[in-house]
Every structure is written in C-alpha cells, then in structure tokens.
Structure 1
C-alpha cells in the first residue's frame, strides 16, 4: 500500500476556502467557487526571521524590483515581488547516507491577485527552477507571476537532476507525490503571513513530469487545489520510460554501428525520412478537416486514412530520404503501435501518426533520451530494488537500454521489498485516476492538454484516460475536466503546430466564474514571435491562429473565411 503523508497540522494550518455557492456537489449541480480578491504584500525582508513553520528553514527573503528579473520570451515585465527561499524536511538517508531536503522558492508579487500557483517542474526534478509560473504552450507571453499569482517552485525533495536519489525510499516518495503534501500547507501559511490572508484560490500546473505531478494532485489533493492544469502528462511515467528503452531496441535493429560496434540510433530514421513521412501524412489527411492548410486537425480519422506501408514509398535501392526500407517500415509500425512483451501483452499505449513527427523534439526523445534520462530513471527510480551506482556505471546507458527485458525487468516497477515498501508504480501514478470525486464535488476543475506528436508520453494514453473518466462519470466528466489535444505539437511545445497558448487564464475563468472553455486560442510562433519556431512551414502565416478543441471535437473549417484565422474554424 502507498503511504499518504497526512501531517497532523495540515488541516489546522489552512483557513477555510471561500464559501461555495451552489448545491454542495450533487450530480445535478456542482458548486461554484468564488472569485479571488487581491491584496498587497505586507512584508518581505522580515519574513525569514518572523516565520516559524514545521520542519521548514527559510534561508532568505529579498525584494526584487520590477523588471529586475528577465525571462526569455516573456513580453510583459516581471512585476516587483519578494523572493523567498528555503528547505523542508532536512535529513540524512539511512539507506545511501546522502543528505536530502525539499528545496523551494516562492515569489510573492507586491500586487497580488489573491491566488497561489504551485509550479510543478519537469524531468527528474532536482532543481529549484525560477518560480515564474510558466504553465502552458511555447514561449508563454504572460507567466503566472506576471498575472499576479504567488508562485512556488521546488526540487521535489532532491538536490540534483540525476536519478541516484532513487536509492533512498523517502526521496522516491517525495518525487512521486509527498513533496507536494509537505509544500502545500507551508506555502499557504507563508502567503498568509506575507499578505495577511490565505490564498482565496489555489492552482497547480505543470507539463511533462510536471503534468504527471498535476494529475497526481488532482487525484490526491483535490481538497487543496481549485484548478489544475496538466500538460503532456506522463501520468504513467514508469511505463513510458521503459517504453523508451524498448524503442531503443527496435531502432538498434536497423541502425548502423559506430567504431565500438554500438548502434547509432539516429541512423535508424533520418530527419529527412521523418520529414518525408510527415509530408505523406499531410498529403493523405490535410483535407479531412475541410481545408488544405498543412495541418491535420482530424487526427482520429487520419489514423484510418494513412497507411505507412502503402502511402510511403518503399526503397528499392539505397536510402535517399524519399523512401523507407521494408525494415524501417516494420520498426516504425511496431513503435507507433506500442510495446508488447513476448506473450503479446500490450504494455503501454502507442502513438498517432501526425505531421509533427518531423519535429526535432520528437526525434530527440526517440534517439537521445533512452540512453540518458530514461536508462537512469528506470534503473534507480522505477525498479525495485534499484541498481547500484557501481553496476550502472560499469556499462553505458545505451547498453542498459538494449539489455532491458520487457518480460523480466518491466514488472519490477510493481515490485516491493522490505526497504522499498512502496512500488514505483504506486508512488508515481494517480492512485485512482478516474476517481476525481473530491475535486469534482468541491467545484474544482481540471484542464489537460497534450501534443499529438509527443515523442515520449502517449497522447493516445491520455485520450484513453479521458474516455475512461467520462465513463466513470456517466458521460458528464466535462463538467469538471476537459482535454485539449494540440495537433502537430511535440512534447509540451514545438513541432508543426500552433503551440503558443495560455490555458491558465481560461482555467481561472472556469473555476471562479463558471465559464467552461469550449476551445482555447493557439498561435503559431512565426517570424516576429518572442521565441520563433523555426520548424514551421514557410507557407504558414507567422500570425496563424487555431482553436484547440475540447476532446473529442476537432477544429473544422467553416467553408469560408481567412484560412490563417481561428475565426474561420469551429469545434465539431
């Protein structure tokens, strides 16, 4: 069983949230949460000395002038705020002897909008990244801090973005979910001291592993957060990471060898070949949404329309980027279908054929990540018992990936022993991912987005979760949870996509005003954007916009109007 952290002071430390308006969470009418009210920062320099919070050390609290913090790609100036840094639950591990703590920073704007935002970070965590509140889409124009949120960032309980913390059982649990349990009441208490009141509304947002954190928070901490935003969520991360190792094995079977007789994975499918397949997908599926514009909105119909075997030329001679060999087609067909073990059991969802597979980000996850991030994560965090450092370093990450067995090693994510009493699966994933009753019945909301051409976390898996959530809620889950697929987008951003969007503001409007978002406006990051997406086709207007639709609806051309404008499309 997974142990849930329940500090005795958790409930007592939090003031009641604003009164709910409505019928108390019945199936007929969900409560409507009230709008947050602003306040002004009362203190900054004295916070470090005046606060006395359980198991918490505030190491500094310093004022930051308006514009002093510069964020790449952000057009609005970062407002004046107070930067608070600290640590929680400092300890020495009895297992690996290393020192651990939950490091954090909170940025408290002088002009506060009354809201708290937990910024969940990605990857292996391990770094307290700047608490700007960058929450969705490529190069966001106005992060949460600019919008007036008090923003928290943490390292999730370990001080380096490396997988070796997986040797410590408690560090595993903190990474999985328990750091959130510790940080949430601390942050709310600190905010109360700084402004003279607790946050009226609390939000949680992140992408990738941050999206996993968000999905876990929706299931575990629906009583603490009013709005949750999960981007490209790796909510089945142990399965996705092992799938990465399996992908490496598939690609290795058609790769050339280097001077050490090791497979060069990038040789399996070249950028030109991925671009050629992307073009073939566009040629077959572009018009399915009513207009030829270089984008495939109707991804579901495209999967039936596009056939890798027949729509992509087969090489009769040397590979030149205009064809695929039969072996390449076999491997890609297998990878897009998803991994199986030797018994033919499906172990993780596959992915969709989408033009965004031409994106460099897609290829980097397929070829670069398995031998680096994924090998280490699986070896130390998603396997019980974990590898030893000596054993892992005795070989290479690539060799670890190539030697990984989906028959005998994959099941170790579900294993426990006397030291690691919680399995990797139990601490990493939402405990009951289609039971969001606590969040739902409070009037809280969940928005999820996922790039259709994600190279690591399956968008099919996320869509399947949404289907199951609908079933579990009698077909009415969209009253509190909505999924937005982003055609062409890679992992969190990039690809052949209109990938710049803000979902935080629509989430706030849904939570506090009852304005359920039927679509979200997305922009292309063309020439003139704060951060340009150089992969966009030259035929696209640099100011192209599209609606991102609530799944399973897709954006369809109305039949007239500017093809470059979202106004010419509707969600059907």
Structure 2
C-alpha cells in the first residue's frame, strides 16, 4: 500500500477514536470474556495494527484467500455462532480505532458461499466502517458441506447473513461507547444475491444495500452450467472451443458490434443491441483452425447456443442469453469451457439430489431444472419482486451489473428490475426513490474488464492501483451520500484501471437511461458522454 495514495490521505483526515491508545487494545482483548451472546463462542479477540498481514485458519485446506493486509488499526473479533444442532457460522468483526462515522458494513460472499471477503472488510475499516463478514455456514467455495445437511443449506440461502448481521451489530455496540447510526451492505455475485435477499426479506437491517451482479433467479443462473456443458461437450470434442477460439469469438463480436455505440474501444455500451453472427468464423472447404483460425460448423453452433436464451419444458424462459463478450477466464472455466461447473454441479449433487454419484455431464436435463425451481430450497431463488417493505423502511438499494459479465448475464438484472417495476406498479421515476440499477459497460464478473470497470465495489480492491483511487465517489460512498445526505445518484463513476494505472473514466448512467457518446471529444473522459433515453 502506497503511503501517498488517496486512501492513505483519507485515513489521515479521519478523527481517531483511540489510535495508539492502550485502553483500546485492552478493551479489544477483553472481549474474550466481556462479550457474551446466546449460542456464540468467542474464538479470537485481538488488536491488529495497520499493515499487519492477517492469515485465516479456514483457508489452509480450501481455495479461499490466504491472507489480507490490515488497512487500519483495528480490533478483530472472531466468533462461532451456532444456528442449529447441525450448523454454525464463523463471523468476523473488524472494528477500527477510527469510528467517528458510527457506520456498520456487512460484506457478502461468492460462489457457493464459504469464503469471507476479507479484502472488502479491510477496505471498509479504512473508510471508517465497523465491518462484519461470515463464512455463510461452511468453509470453502464448495457444495460438499450441503450433503445431507439441510440446515447448512438454510444458512447459505439466508440465515447466516441474518444471524451474522445481528450478532455483529451486537458486538459492535458492545465494544464502542457509541451505537451504530447507519447500516450498509455490499456484495457481488452470490454476495449480490444476499444483498437482494436482505432487501426482500429483512430490509429493516440496512439503510443502504449495494448489490452487484446478483445471482438472483438462482436456479436459472445455475442451469447455465448444465446447459452449456452439454452444448459444447468436453474439451477435444467436435463442438468444444478452446480458450484461444473463444478469444477469437470475442474479437469477432468486437468487429461486429463495437461501433454500435459510436466509439471503437473494445466495449459494448449496450450489448442487447448486439446480435453476433458466428458464421463469420466458419471454415471453408479445406480450412482448419490451425491454418485459418476458423471454426467448424458444430463449433459455430455451440457459439449460437451460448449466445441464445435457455428455454425449459413447455417453452419456459429459464435464463437470458450470455453477454456477447466471452473473453473472461472465469466464465470459460465455470460456464462454457466444457468442464462441468463446480458451482452448478456442487449444488445439484449435494443440495438438490444429496447424491455424490450424480454427474452433470450425463444426468443433467430439463427435468432437473424443473425440480430445482420447484423445490427452491429455503427460497434461495431470491426472486421476490415486491420490495414494499424496503420502500416503506426507507432502505436504499443500488444494484449494478457488468455488461461483459461472462458468468451471470447482465440481462438477468435488467429482467429483475423490470419485473419489480411491473409487479409493484411503479415506473422508474418512482422506483428511483429507493431502487436504482446501473449497467456498467466493460465490467466482467464483479471486477476487471476492458472498460471503466472500477467503481469501488465488492472484490475490486485487490488489483494494483485500486487503493490509489479516491474513494469519495466509490459505489459504497455514493450509497452513503444517498442515505445520509439525500443525494441520489444518477450516474456511477467508473474508471478503466489497467496495470495499476487509470487510463480513462466514465459516468455510467442509471437505467433506463443509456450512456451515450456525444459524438465529439475524448471518449476516455466522462464529459464526452451523456445520459439519454435511447
């Protein structure tokens, strides 16, 4: 972390609650005995200085992050919260010495939900939040703990988030002399789904919810894993494309659609206007990938399938098409590379069927999708469109989604937003009071991309240069201004961060307005764009 970064400057401006105060450190270590709550065990309570490398015991045996660097002096509290006779949740509470804001931040998870987003937590403390994270009821990004353990599934669906928030707030209010004044949530992917679950079921817990690339319509999202693996076949099969071939498809989409928005920048400002024609890459007689970088007819058909909606039994729309930019490695590895998605297969095998022998490549079909939708274990679908309680509570919801997301199609978020509008009978002008949606061009799944992808959101703080960007217009602080100052956002500032250097910026417009190039000016400057109705 650079001492001259924008974040470091902000830290210097925050008034210290007890920086360097031995009493703060002692009060922190005393939590081991002073903090008591039903069904809760204190595992660790200790002071952590800024710059400390924090490691995590649960990460040694799984793919979760192995360490994070503390960005503020803080008290760390680690808890084990029992949720049933067969389930429990690990909860982490980071409480900075600088807590003049008296703000609470809950962080989300990802995938099948067992990794705590420690980087989000440390960044939150640097901004003066007391922050909570949790393992969603099991360690590691795997569905194996779901096997014959329905209470663990319940934790994953919603209970871990709810209980962790409750116990985290209690710990924070116990530790500090003052009480929490405002509560916020931030998460992406499964964490985005968790945010929308809170908005749907217990909005009273949060004043502001930031939900990114949410895995709402959960069963539809998972169905893509099975549908795609059967469509493209395993690596080496006639219908499969390797990563180099998918990169060629990506470039084909750029050639066909990049100019639609008036700027050639490898970014589609409105990908729903793009209808790729993969036949452009079709091999002629005697041509091969090795000789002409072309695709066979079966491979072209695979591309057509990936870029088409998924329909189930009776013609039911299961999931909109994948975004027509497919270069991101995560999407290739999890969705359309031909290897069964560990996310989808882990859910079907261990949660839906309770059968370790179940195989997605051979056992998946449309009836499986129907069964998953029908059972909707603990309402994990997160499909409720009546947000009246959130509206009445005054909870603000800011949802954003990358328009080159290669894992969860951004059309899923458009679809949900419009369903909320219809089902609540509220046009956008009235939804704006409490719920706003921002499509982010050039953003892949949660982070990175070819466009102005950095909005200061969940899991975006690890890349080089991220901590050097002024956090004042980040999505989290934008939400704070909306909640605490009544300044509702019409745009969300994004920056093109490449190799640690900001190479451009764009103010992404609130849906249903479109971020539109004015026709003149440097397209890397926000002033060259405006929000239009079409």
Identify the TM-score tier after normalising by the shorter chain: 0.7 to 0.9
Instruction: Say whether the 8 Å CA contact 1:220–1:431 is kept in structure 2.
Output: no
Partner of 1:25: none
Instruction: Say whether the 8 Å CA contact 1:246–1:401 is kept in structure 2.
Output: no
Distance change (3 Å), C-alpha of 1:308 and 1:548: same
Give the secondary-structure state (helix, strand or coil) at the position aligned to 1:496: coil
State whether structure 2 residue 464 is matched by structure 1 residue 490.
no
State whether structure 2 residue 504 is matched by structure 1 residue 544.
yes
Q: Which blocks of at least 5 consecutive residues in structure 1 are unaligned?
A: 1-36, 94-99, 135-142, 258-262, 393-399, 417-422, 530-541
Q: 2:31 aligns with which of 42, 47, 54?
A: 47
Partner of 1:373: 343
> What is the distance in 1 between the residues matched to 2:339 and 2:490?
35
Partner of 2:304: 333
Tell me which of the two structures has the higher relative contact order, counting C-alpha pairs closer than 8 angstroms and 6 or more residues apart. 1
> What is the distance in 2 between the residues matched to 1:407 and 1:292?
40
Instruction: Say whether the 8 Å CA contact 1:352–1:453 is kept in structure 2.
Output: yes
The one-character-per-residue Cα deviations of 1:396-443 (angstroms, maximum 9, x if unpaired) are xxxx12223333322221455xxxxxx42x4312262x2111211222
Give the secondary-structure state (helix, strand or coil) at the position aligned to 2:118: coil
Give the secondary-structure state (helix, strand or coil) at the position aligned to 1:370: coil
Tell me whether 40-49 or 188-197 shows the greater mean CA deviation: 40-49
Q: How far has the Cα of 1:38 moved from its partner?
A: 8.3
Instruction: Say whether the 8 Å CA contact 1:177–1:428 is kept in structure 2.
Output: yes
> What is the distance in 1 between the residues matched to 2:339 and 2:127?
34
Q: How does 1:296-375 map to 2 (within 5 A)?
A: 296-303=268-275, 306-309=276-279, 311-316=280-285, 317-320=287-290, 322-341=293-312, 343-354=314-325, 357-366=326-335, 367=337, 370-375=340-345
Q: 1:405 aligns with which of 334, 346, 364?
A: 364
Q: 2:421 aligns with which of 467, 470, 478?
A: 470
Q: How far has the Cα of 1:160 moved from its partner?
A: 4.0
The one-character-per-residue Cα deviations of 1:455-481 (angstroms, maximum 9, x if unpaired) are 222211111111122222420212211
Q: 1:225 aligns with which of 185, 206, 223?
A: 206
Partner of 1:31: none
Q: How does 1:173-184 map to 2 (within 5 A)?
A: 173-184=154-165
Partner of 2:462: none
> What is the distance in 1 between the residues matched to 2:113 and 2:398?
22
State whether structure 2 residue 489 is matched by structure 1 residue 517.
yes
Q: How does 1:547-558 map to 2 (within 5 A)?
A: 547-558=507-518
Partner of 1:80: 73
Distance change (3 Å), C-alpha of 1:84 and 1:331: same
The one-character-per-residue Cα deviations of 1:11-61 (angstroms, maximum 9, x if unpaired) are xxxxxxxxxxxxxxxxxxxxxxxxxx9883663111221112121111221
Task: Give the TM-score of the pair, scaled to structure 1.
Answer: 0.77
> What is the distance in 2 between the residues matched to 1:368 and 1:312?
20
State whether structure 2 residue 401 is matched by structure 1 residue 442.
no
Higher helix share: 2
Q: 1:563 aligns with which of 515, 523, 530?
A: 523
Give the secondary-structure state (helix, strand or coil) at the position aligned to 1:337: coil
RMSD: 2.7
How many residues get paired?
476
State whether structure 2 residue 52 is matched by structure 1 residue 68.
yes
State whether structure 2 residue 108 is matched by structure 1 residue 123.
no
Q: 2:225 aligns with which of 244, 247, 272?
A: 244
Distance change (3 Å), C-alpha of 1:369 and 1:195: farther
Task: Give the TM-score of the pair, scaled to structure 2.
Answer: 0.82
The one-character-per-residue Cα deviations of 1:479-512 (angstroms, maximum 9, x if unpaired) are 2111122223221123323221121111111111
Q: How does 1:86-235 map to 2 (within 5 A)?
A: 86-89=79-82, 92-93=85-86, 100-112=87-99, 113-130=101-118, 132-133=120-121, 143-166=123-146, 167-235=148-216
> What is the distance in 2 between the residues matched to 1:459 and 1:318?
33
State whether structure 2 residue 254 is matched by structure 1 residue 282.
yes
Instruction: Say whether the 8 Å CA contact 2:217–2:383 is kept in structure 1.
Output: no
